[in-house]
Structure 1
Amino acid sequence: MMICDIQHLTKQFGGDDILTDVSLFIEHQDRIGLIGRNGSGKTTLLRLIARLDSEDSGTIYQKSGLSIGYLAQLPVFDNVMTGRDVLWTAFATLVGLQHSLQQIERDMATKTDQIEQLLERYTQETEAFERQGGYLLDSKIDRMINGLQLHALLDRPFEQLSGGEQTKICLGRMLLTEPELLILDEPTNHLDLDAVEWLESFLADYAGAVLIVSHDRVFLDAVVTRIAELEEGQIQLYQGNYTFYVKEKERLLLEQFHAYQEQQKKIKQMKEAIRRLRQWANEASPPSEKLFRKAKSMERALARIERIKRPKLDAETPDLAFATHGKTSRMVYRVEDVSIAFSKQPLLHSLNFEISAKDRIAIVGANGSGKSTLLHLLLGHLEPTSGLITRGPSVKIGYLSQRIDFPPGERLIDVFRATVNLDEGTARQRLAQFLFFGPRVFLPIEALSGGERMRLMLAILVHSDLNVLILDEPTNHLDIESRDALEEALESFDGTLIAVSHDRYFLNRLFTKTLWLDQTMELFPGPYAYASTKRQTQPPVAKIPKNVVSAKKRPSPSLPVQTTRQVEETIERLEQELTMLDRQLAETTDYEETMKLFSVREQLVQQLDVQYEQFLASE
């Protein structure tokens, strides 16, 4: 059943065409992923569908009485309302009905002369309350709180919550209203991995239609059944999820390019035939009118050909390449029995791990588990309450913060040149590699979008002296093409990589170790998918002991007796084998082969631990 039909929609802003000819048909229970480059007009289209803006031309037909849920901007609530109060506003009608039933109950106790009328009213309103799911309100609220992990926000005043926290509460409120058309614009941005996976399962069972703008490729694969790509003001539909779209678009582009080449060949042949006909007509004695007419007829046929536009086989992406500067020491970080507390409330407790040169470690966990705090400890921005963090002597760090703040009032090019010592002409050339073209380099920092701020920070990092990259949610605000470019650059990066992210595609593609914070700390010798599976099926393979320092000082009674020199040689041999194994893991794409290599790697790590214990005991 059709609930929304969009025909030939156009929209301009400031004389620029944003939407030129958009058509889209939305049916009941559709799951549509709307994708496109930053600035392609996705949010504009959502606002038109939600009737928050008006189109310049075209039509939007909507089912009569269609209810739409769209979190366009944060609504204003009474300043005494808590996060829990805001969630309950989703059921304002039912709550009013509940209050009415309570009032009738009080009236029946005092107005005995009206008991028949009150009973009849009470029966009618009770049936309406039950029919609308009134007795399920508490369970629905609890499900939303647990799924989106809103517990810490419930009793705090809504107006005192951060923008991201308010967005999470309002997302929960909107989902509770269960509109017929649910419009979600980057819904995973403020959610941790557990909440994202819960939202996927929620949307899979959702009764209405869902239109989603997202750059999260795994999320799109799990949720949508159609992809609507918005490109150059028009929509191209693909029947399938994101993975299907990628393959299908590549196939269509190749077909279109072949058709373009064939048409260009035909046009060239026709132009050459016209030239020759005219030449022969002029050389005839007398000049041949018949040949002139034939040439003119062929010219008209050429003009009638509908030209195939040359397809862009490669989309414009930032030109990213991170270079390492200087040799990194074997030990990049050593964290020994580190704890940190805020206002006497412990956040991280007894952390013990080591990061070696060229390690690729992803840090994951629920919101509030201390991921960003751990990064700030490694960066030296915070001091631990107890314990010791040792940094290698030759470590040069490049840091990308989740919150990117530049000096207000500055121009983009001035911010770039303040960090990267280049003349204006060279700086503009370098910025063009990051898709800042022409006059855009002179925009004030305040005018940049989140994606543009991220690209500017990446441009600065690329020109920095570093051999260790520490990234906090680096894919936030980037479109899919820019994410691909970033991932390719990081794959080629020869230094050490440490990152916090909730982008599962990013986590699985780049990282060979996963450090999971969840009250305790667990270190897994594999990417996020491997770590997640291990957590669900069995105890972690490399859970780090709480007091690794004292453990190292106790030699195992079962260790064979070796000289210190023999132990050192064994450690060196095992480390070489581990390096070769990590290289194989990085290169293989076969799932079964990956699992076999992980198993071998686990055994090597255990052997190394034993050798290190014996080495430390002999000192």
Structure 2
Amino acid sequence: MSIQISNLNFSYSSSNSTLFEDFSLQFFDGWTCVAGSNGCGKSTLLKLIAGIIEPDGGKILCNGVGGNASTSGVFYCPQETAEIPENLYTAFWSDDNEVRRFFSRLCVTEEMLERYDTLSGGEKKRIQIACALAEQPSVLLLDEPTNHLDSETTKMISDALGDFHGIGIMVSHDRGFADSLCNRTIYLYNEAQSFAGGRDCIACDTYPCGLTKALELRQSGQEQSRGNWERLNSKASSEKQRSARLEAENQKSKARLSKKTISAKDHDAKLKQDIARISGKDRTTGDAKARLETQIRQTEAERDSIKKALRRKEGFSVENTDYSKPIIIEDTQIQAGSYTLQIPHLEIKRGTKFALTGQNGAGKTLFVNHVIGLLEAAGRQGELLYLPQEISYEVREQIFEEFAELEENERGEVLSTLYRLGSEPTRLSAENSAGGGSGEQQVSPGELRKLMIALAVQRPLSLLILDEPTNHMDITSVLALESALASLDCAMIVVSHDKAFLAKITNASLTAERTSPTSGRLSVLSN
């Protein structure tokens, strides 16, 4: 089975630019990961394949038949899980054991169906995936399936999807999850933002491997393209310099052969110049220059045939700080409702970067709130940046107000940091960033997180607490954030289930685990 996309054209009515223009791509049986920056059309591509939105031109064929969600066995799972899947109850109570087994495998119980609105994001995602597999589609489309999931739930879903036989396409920034399922990666990008002289529309590169390897190959390919372009450009420059020298020599030669400076009665001198012209002794520089001009044109043509990857600056630094006082956490018990978490004695020093892991509900957020409370009680809240998993409307308003009130040079520094984190700062203009303007509405949750970070690092910090910082972020932003956080020397507590992300930036580990239904403990795993 295959999906053939041919000469696809699509743009949103609210946009002045074309998203896809003469875009062609093919999908086959097995899992394919679709990656790329925010705004490069990943979710749009899935919705076009599912028939949720219609292209402006071109064709999308599933085994030679025009595809849409109702007729071609295509099932689309969006990022959001607030809506109850339409087939939930009919599939769960189906008489077909082959259908019901997906719910059993993903540990979906009758009790969960009765309280869907109160389920965690991970529980809702398990139900969503079970409903998708129960339909036994020929094409399964997943948009960021691992946001908000702990490692246990992620493993459970990965195992279930591993048995899917058909065309599976996922948009994901989770390298571990994508690598476990995908043997092919499609990387979408805006040509104009990626390559010198590129078109302002989406193109793609295909890699016959998982996401991690594809990113390595992409980076290597970009470095090679820049190296080859610069080598040929340098060669062309050298050849032009040689050509200029030959031209100067040629002009001198012409001056020597000119009869204007010879007396009309000096017949011997004129005869010698005529002989020089006939023998070609002084014509060598001109011939050499002509050959070199041909070589220059060939070198420039070879250079211009290369798609030169644009280099993007990355990383940022926190303002210099005199905060050298460590954060001391005493051995204690903290409580939330009926749940109690035992915390050991901890000393968080500058440069200590903790990875805080554990199952959902084991007490990670409880511990984070305890640390924040200790800093506030000590009057040290100004040293802290806390990036929560979900940002409330009130906090969102405060962020945009803070940005709007910045001086011009300060705003420039914030926008520069945003760019280095993989964003396009033009989306944030001063006139629409405050008071609920259109700029606010256009900023995604991932972009909002990066704006919070960019604002915070303009002041001295002693502790960064990041709760699932990669949720809602594209892979480009994740890699840029990875690089930036790895270079910072302030203390950090990072809550994440992204093992690759944690491995890059942390140097110590904490884990929260349940020891009973009403109690748990926090343990230091390594330093």
- Secondary structure of the residue aligned to 1:339 is strand
1:415 matched residue in structure 2 = 402
Answer whether contact 2:92 2:100 (CA < 8 A) is retained.
Answer: no
2:329 corresponds to which of 333, 356, 368: 333
Pairwise CA distance, 1:216:
1.0
Pairwise CA distance, 1:12:
2.7
2:410 matched residue in structure 1 = 426
1:49 matched residue in structure 2 = 49
Answer whether contact 2:106 2:126 (CA < 8 A) is retained.
Answer: no
Mark the CA change 1:306 to 1:61 in structure 2 (over 3 Å): closer, same or farther: farther
Pairwise CA distance, 1:196:
0.6
Mark the CA change 1:285 to 1:211 in structure 2 (over 3 Å): closer, same or farther: farther
Q: Deviations over 1:320-365 (max 9, x none)?
A: 5475442223x52224132331xxxx22x25131220224333323
Pairwise CA distance, 1:309:
4.6
2:429 matched residue in structure 1 = 441
Pairwise CA distance, 1:467:
1.3
1:519-530 → structure 2 map (5 Å cutoff): 519=516, 520-526=519-525
2:90 matched residue in structure 1 = 89
1:39 matched residue in structure 2 = 39
Mark the CA change 1:143 to 1:135 in structure 2 (over 3 Å): closer, same or farther: same
In 2, Cα distance between equivalents of 1:270 and 1:423: 48
Q: Deviations over 1:271-311 (max 9, x none)?
A: 6688789986996989x9x9999999889878976823553
In 2, Cα distance between equivalents of 1:37 and 1:207: 29
In 2, Cα distance between equivalents of 1:266 and 1:350: 66
User: Is 1:401–2:388 an aligned residue pair?
Assistant: yes
1:325-404 → structure 2 map (5 Å cutoff): 325-329=322-326, 331-341=327-337, 346-347=338-339, 349-358=340-349, 359-380=352-373, 396-404=383-391
Q: Which range moves more in the overlay, 192-201 or 161-170? A: 161-170
User: Is 1:135–2:101 an aligned residue pair?
Assistant: no
Mind listing any 5+ residue stretches in structure 1 that lack a counterpart?
A: 78-82, 99-133, 382-388, 528-581, 583-619
Mark the CA change 1:137 to 1:212 in structure 2 (over 3 Å): closer, same or farther: closer
Answer whether contact 2:314 2:483 (CA < 8 A) is retained.
Answer: no
1:154 matched residue in structure 2 = 113
1:202 matched residue in structure 2 = 160
Q: Which range moves more in the overlay, 447-456 or 425-434? A: 425-434
1:488-503 → structure 2 map (5 Å cutoff): 488-503=483-498
In 1, Cα distance between equivalents of 2:511 and 2:319: 24
What is the number of equivalent residue pairs in this alignment? 461
Pairwise CA distance, 1:28:
1.8
1:114-125 → structure 2 map (5 Å cutoff): none
Give the aligned residue type for 1:506. Answer: F
- Secondary structure of the residue aligned to 1:252 is helix
- Secondary structure of the residue aligned to 1:23 is strand
In 2, Cα distance between equivalents of 1:301 and 1:496: 55
Answer whether contact 2:78 2:142 (CA < 8 A) is retained.
Answer: no
1:151-300 → structure 2 map (5 Å cutoff): 153-156=112-115, 158=117, 166=124, 168-232=126-190, 233-265=202-234, 267-268=236-237
In 2, Cα distance between equivalents of 1:170 and 1:263: 53
Mark the CA change 1:522 to 1:268 in structure 2 (over 3 Å): closer, same or farther: same
Answer whether contact 2:399 2:452 (CA < 8 A) is retained.
Answer: no
In 2, Cα distance between equivalents of 1:73 and 1:392: 40
Answer whether contact 1:451 1:477 (CA < 8 A) is retained.
Answer: yes
Answer whether contact 2:512 2:520 (CA < 8 A) is retained.
Answer: yes
Bigger helix fraction: 1
Mind listing any 5+ residue stretches in structure 2 that lack a counterpart?
A: 66-70, 191-201, 260-282, 433-438
Pairwise CA distance, 1:151:
7.7
In 1, Cα distance between equivalents of 2:147 and 2:54: 27
In 2, Cα distance between equivalents of 1:506 and 1:38: 18
Answer whether contact 2:43 2:143 (CA < 8 A) is retained.
Answer: yes
Pairwise CA distance, 1:434:
0.9
In 1, Cα distance between equivalents of 2:164 and 2:209: 18
Mark the CA change 1:294 to 1:429 in structure 2 (over 3 Å): closer, same or farther: same
Pairwise CA distance, 1:266:
5.3
1:606 matched residue in structure 2 = none
1:308 matched residue in structure 2 = 305
After TM superposition, the score normalised by the length of structure 2 is 0.74
In 1, Cα distance between equivalents of 2:396 and 2:357: 35
- Percent of residue pairs bearing the same amino acid type: 26
Give the aligned residue type for 1:489. Answer: A
Answer whether contact 1:335 1:390 (CA < 8 A) is retained.
Answer: no
Pairwise CA distance, 1:204:
2.2
In 2, Cα distance between equivalents of 1:57 and 1:304: 34
Give the aligned residue type for 2:412. Answer: R
2:23 matched residue in structure 1 = 22
Pairwise CA distance, 1:185:
1.0
2:72 corresponds to which of 66, 80, 85: 66
Pairwise CA distance, 1:4:
0.4
1:7 matched residue in structure 2 = 6
In 2, Cα distance between equivalents of 1:259 and 1:390: 54
Mark the CA change 1:350 to 1:236 in structure 2 (over 3 Å): closer, same or farther: closer
Higher relative contact order (CA 8 A, sep 6+): 2
User: Is 1:452–2:411 an aligned residue pair?
Assistant: no
Answer whether contact 2:174 2:498 (CA < 8 A) is retained.
Answer: yes
1:585-596 → structure 2 map (5 Å cutoff): none
- Secondary structure of the residue aligned to 2:386 is strand
Pairwise CA distance, 1:459:
1.2
Pairwise CA distance, 1:21:
4.5
Pairwise CA distance, 1:68:
1.2
Pairwise CA distance, 1:466:
2.9
Pairwise CA distance, 1:43:
1.3
- Secondary structure of the residue aligned to 1:470 is strand
Give the aligned residue type for 1:499. Answer: V
In 1, Cα distance between equivalents of 2:189 and 2:87: 37
User: Is 1:145–2:129 an aligned residue pair?
Assistant: no
Answer whether contact 1:3 1:66 (CA < 8 A) is retained.
Answer: no
- Secondary structure of the residue aligned to 2:226 is helix
Q: Deviations over 1:247-276 (max 9, x none)?
A: 322332233223313432454467668878
Mark the CA change 1:306 to 1:424 in structure 2 (over 3 Å): closer, same or farther: closer
1:511-590 → structure 2 map (5 Å cutoff): 511-518=507-514, 519=516, 520-526=519-525, 582=527
- Secondary structure of the residue aligned to 2:216 is helix
In 2, Cα distance between equivalents of 1:408 and 1:258: 45
Give the aligned residue type for 1:475. Answer: T
Answer whether contact 2:318 2:461 (CA < 8 A) is retained.
Answer: no
Q: How well do the aligned residues superpose, as a CA RMSD in angstroms?
A: 4.0
Give the aligned residue type for 1:230. Answer: L
1:549 matched residue in structure 2 = none
